Copies of this chain bind each other. A is one copy, B any other.
Amino acid sequence: MTNDIPNIEGAVCAPPLAHEERIVMGHGAGGRMSHQLIRKVFMSAFQNSALNAGDDAALIQLDARQRLSVSVDAHVVEPLFFPGGDIGKLAVCGSVNDAAMLGATPLYLTAGFILEEGLPIETLRRVVESMRAAADEAGVQIIAGDTKVVQKGKADGLYITTTGVGVVREGVNISGANAKVGDAVILSGAIGDHGIAVLGARGELGFQSSLQSDVAPLNRLIAAALDASPNIHVLRDPTRGGLATTLNEIAAQSNVGVVLHESAIPVRAEVNAACEMLGFDALYVANEGKVVVIVPQEDAEKVLAAMKSAKYGEDSVIIGEVVAEPKARVLLKTVLGSTRVADMLAGEMLPRIC
């Protein structure tokens, strides 16, 4: 995701890269280590305004009228199939959702496949059929593809990299840098389902779980929110790194604070149970079918109502607000009444989650 590319504030607190000479799993976890690698290696080389914006997708001003939203995601989830989805559905929804996060209508996808020698073609067929179904639901076309094959052991079944292209609505101006003091923070539903469902598919939960990944195309939910108010300031899906990391990115980009009310954040009992057992915090577990909407207070109720009446938004809830201080920080008011800082994910928590 383009929001792997952090704004400068967001990465200032990262330790120097000099101490790390090799890639480790934490560099792919979507937290501070990922941001640090990207800032030190990629940002310093690829300087341009679209990239520097640090949003889920890049905004392209094609001409006086047309604005495009372009996103890219590499998918390496393990296992390839998990409750509620698979790598194909994940690849389509990931790029559809990122492209939509600038207030765009996703229209087109490209897909690059890296296949491991020996992969059963029936497995590939299942993944491709899942991509087709997800693309049909989202209303996007997969217009270009490429396929490469690597020797046995040089990949893990298959990897899929998708790029999404969307047309940005006229009259909207959405970015992680646009959160304003007083804005309401809306979350579209329960957190942590994807990460815990994938762990379950790996047999790492130690108990049977009926939990399903929340992976879903969110473009119509976002369209419903924008129909209710074109004044939405921020849209972002809390994927790798979870809700806390996503809100830290936004707080840093907008140079504001975010206060969350822990009691308002929906978490399923199974996710809580798994997190307690594994020592995780659901605030940092990946989601693939949730969106954070930051909107002026005066529009919050109508946007919330529109989201609740849209598919994948039924459990939408206001979870907090944007404050002036502390800047670039996320504070959590706990159920016990205390307040703690919810920092960005530090390193590795769940590898190969998407």
Contact = CB atoms under 8 A, between A and B. Distances in A.
**Chain A interface SS verdict (over half):** mixed
Contact of A45 (B57, B129, B167): B129
B66 A147 contact: no
A108 to B, nearest CB: 6
Contact of A114 (B20, B63, B114, B141): B114
Interface in A324-342: none
A18 to B, nearest CB: 9
Given A23-B149, A72-B112, A76-B150, A128 B41 contact: yes
Nearest to A133: B45
How many copies make up the complex? 2
Contacts of A155: 154-155
A35 to B, nearest CB: 10
Nearest to A142: B46
Contact of A23 (B116, B132, B154): B116
Interface stretch (A117-125, A211-219, A259-267, A286-294): A117-125
Interface of A: 1-2, 4-5, 17, 20-29, 34, 37-38, 41-42, 45-46, 48, 50-51, 57-58, 60, 62-63, 65-66, 68, 70-76, 108, 110-122, 124-125, 128-129, 131-132, 135, 141-151, 153-156, 159, 161, 163, 165, 167, 351-352, 354
10 nearest A-B residue pairs (beta carbon) = A28-B149, A161-B161, A74-B112, A72-B110, A112-B161, A163-B163, A58-B143, A50-B143, A23-B119, A46-B142
25 contacts: A4-B146, A5-B144, A5-B145, A21-B121, A22-B118, A23-B116, A23-B124, A26-B149, A27-B149, A42-B128, A45-B128, A46-B128, A50-B144, A58-B108, A58-B143, A60-B108, A62-B66, A72-B144, A72-B163, A73-B112, A74-B146, A150-B159, A151-B351, A161-B161, A165-B165
